[in-house]
Amino acid sequence: MIDAMSSLLIVSGLAFYLAGSIGLLRLPDLYSRLHALTKADNLGLGLLTAGLALHAQDLLIALKLVLIWLAVLAASAASAHLIAQHARHRETPS
Amino acid sequence: MLTAQWLYAMTGCLIVALGLRTALLHAVLLHRLIGVNVMGAGVFLMLIAVAYRGPGVAPDPVPHALVLTGIVVAVSATALALALARRLTGEQDNG
Amino acid sequence: MNTTALLVLDVLLVFSLLSLAAAALATRDASRSVILFMAFGLVLAVAWARLLAPDVALAEAAIGAGLSGALLLAAVREQPRRALSGDAKPVHERERTSIDVTLQLTVTLLCVAVAALLAWALAEAFDRGPQDTLAQAVSETLAASGVSNPVTAILLNFRAYDTLLELAVLLTAVLGILALGPARPGYQAAGPVFDSLVRWLVPVLILTAGYLLWVGAHAPGGAFQAGATLAAAAVVLRLAGHRTAGLPPGRTLHVVMAAGVGMFLVVGLSLLVLGRPFLGYPPAWAGGLILLIESAAMLAIAATLVLAFLGGRPQPAAGLSGEKRQC
Amino acid sequence: MSELLTVSALGLMLSLFLGLLRVVRGPSTGDRMLATQLIGTAGVGLLLLLSLLLKQTALIDVALILALLAAVAAAAFTGQQRETGDD
């Protein structure tokens, strides 16, 4: 039962990752890429860590997994904002 | 011989050549520095590949210690080179 | 993990490394080149993990994928465009770009020859099979080293002289940086989004540094990785407008810079006085002494890397913004 | 279970690889940095899977450092304005 849950979580996490990457390649401009990607890969990592946490041997590892996800979540929210700001400032490809 | 060992070691050789070429030929200092750093990464790849003993087998820790030292020295040397470059362009601007 | 899947992963990793290295070196724009180099560092960290070198992967994740990129970006940002990027170079540099084709060809051939020589030497070494004499010596004496992580045992016990001299090299580099001039100009105080990032990122980085230092005795980690993580916290502070990046003022900074070499010498000389070889720890004390040296080394490495990021002598309180500190 | 993890690891590597194409192609610096963030997140996921597959618990710590330093790198890239100087 736990195995099935975990597999489901990991596979759906992977699907979000791949969707994000394809979006990064196919979407027409930076802003839509930012919009799509920051949601997709964070959700992907969240599902993946949840799936792996079910396998964790001890609580410390499960806690570390949660911490990693929170760190990525907070970091990417901030960096998406900063990248958008940066792009608006310059608005020139380099 | 392990395929993985061979694969990563040969990649290391190629990366050394790429980095060395830029370090010698590029006109711009920053690119030369990145070239030297890439070359260092190639050397590290060769060392870690030599240490590898296959999946599930503990690798040789001695090259690992060498590479660890190398990474820290490389970043300090890069910083010193950047400081030198900065002073150099400053002097040129002033005189 | 089965062999075929591992091989596919290896091929993809190797191909990524080669194409990122080539792209980083081929591009003419400086900041583009630095970003590609940072991505190269990220993939390299995964490669070290794949090759069962977690100690190296930790250092690469902290330095290769983070700090050296930040350092190079700061340099690119500061220099007027013509100095570091290829856009509009002074005349003598422009002449050097068009070095004659013969020279380019010769150097390229030379590099190919170097690669071929290295490949030949490695192939010879692989043919003879692994030489495990050193690795065996390490695993046999590990129990008496005071730590159970072999890499830490090598760096701080078996080859402690090398690490002492390495810290001396770092000290020399940082003295050079300090001697060359004042730090780059600081940054404006951070906006709200950046500020909220700083608020959680800095404490988490400091805590992680402490964790890595402590865990290094029995698992991957140690002074180098902890020092780099601590330095990352200071870099974030500096980007948020703290001019001195949390470095202590004046004399204290000099003490911290020399702490690694100093603690090594104090421990080594004390052991000499007690009638033991220089840095030949008594097994019962080895663990404690190593932790003591590593703590000092962590601070020294962090100070070195932060000063490297600053690019010169810290300049506290010039009256604009940022925090005011007396030197 | 192990097969699933293996396939997922390869899938993440593919995702990372697609991100690389965007880093190399650009066109803007923002695009490259965004793609580097994706490589970072995919790298974190890949390290977590590898920690299970290769039985190396320490790779979880590597993933943590990678996640934290990706934030530092993004901060360094977008930077703040210099106090003085001509950026």
In percent, the amount of chain B with pLDDT more than 90 equals: 45
Full DSSP string of C137-172: HHHHHGGGSS-S-HHHHIIIIITHHHHHHHHHHHHH
List the domain range (segments joined by +) for residue B84: 3-94
Give pLDDT, residue C249: 82
Q: Does C84 touch chain D (CB under 8 A)?
A: no
The model's pLDDT over A6-48, given as tens digits with 9 standing for 90+, comes to 888 888 888 888 888 887 877 777 777 777 777 788 888 888 8
The model's confidence at residue B92, banded by pLDDT at 50, 70 and 90, is low
Q: Which residue shows structure tokens 């990991």?
A: A10
Q: Does pLDDT of C257 surpass 70? A: yes
What average pLDDT does the segment C259-264 reach? 89
Q: What is the identity of the amino acid at D36?
A: T
> Across chain D, what does the average pLDDT equal?
82
> What's the pLDDT at C99?
60
Q: What is the four-CA torsion angle of C150, C155, C160, C165, rounded to 10 degrees? A: 170
pLDDT, residue C89, reads 47
Supply the CATH number for residue B70's domain: 1.10.287.3510
Distance from CA of B6 to the nearest CA of C (A): 8
C-alpha span between B41 and B20 (Å, rounded) = 11
Shortest distance between the Cα of A84 and any Cα of chain D, in A, equals 8
**Inter-chain touch A10–D5, beta carbons under 8 Å:** yes
How many domains in chain A? 1
| Cβ–Cβ below 8 Å for B68 and C24 | no
Q: Using CA coordinates, name the residue in chain C closest to B25.
A: C104
Q: pTM above the 0.80 mark?
A: yes
Per cent of chain A over pLDDT 90 is 0
Contact between A75 and C197 using a beta-carbon 8 Å cutoff: yes
Contact call for A30 and D60, based on CB within 8 A: no
As a whole number, the mean pLDDT across chain C is 83
Instruction: Tell me which chain B residue has its CA closest to the CA of residue C68.
Output: B75
Judge: C35–D85 Cβ closer than 8 Å, yes or no. Answer: no
Q: From CA C277, how far away is CA C262, in angstroms rounded?
A: 18
Of D29, D51, D83, the CB nearest to C35: D29
Taking only the tens place, the pLDDT of each residue in C64-79 is 888 888 888 888 877 6
State mean pLDDT over D10-26: 86
How many CB atoms are closer than 10 A to CB D82?
16
Tell me how many domains chain B contains.
Answer: 1
Enclosing domain of residue A64: 2-91
How far B95 CA lies from chain C's nearest CA (Å)? 14
Question: How far, in Å, CA of C194 to CA of C202, rounded?
Answer: 12
- Hey, is the C-beta of C29 within 8 angstroms of any chain A C-beta? yes
Which sequence spans correspond to the domains of chain D? Answer: 2-75
Residue from the list A21, A30, A67 with its beta carbon closest to the beta carbon of D15: A21
- For CA atoms B36, B41, B47, B50, the dihedral sign is negative
pLDDT digits (tens, 9 = 90+) for A42-71: 888 888 898 888 877 788 888 889 889 988
pLDDT bucket at C46, cuts 50 / 70 / 90:
very high
| Look-up of token digits 């930040």 | C70
Give tens-digit pLDDT for B18-40.
999 988 888 788 889 999 999 99
Chain A nearest CA to C19, separation (Å): 17
DSSP characters over B23-39: HHH-SSHHHHHHHHHHH
C87 pLDDT exceeds 50? no
C-beta atoms of D70 and A72 within 8 A? yes
Convert the pLDDT of each residue in C201-250 to its tens digit.
899 999 999 999 998 888 888 889 999 999 999 998 888 877 777 788 87
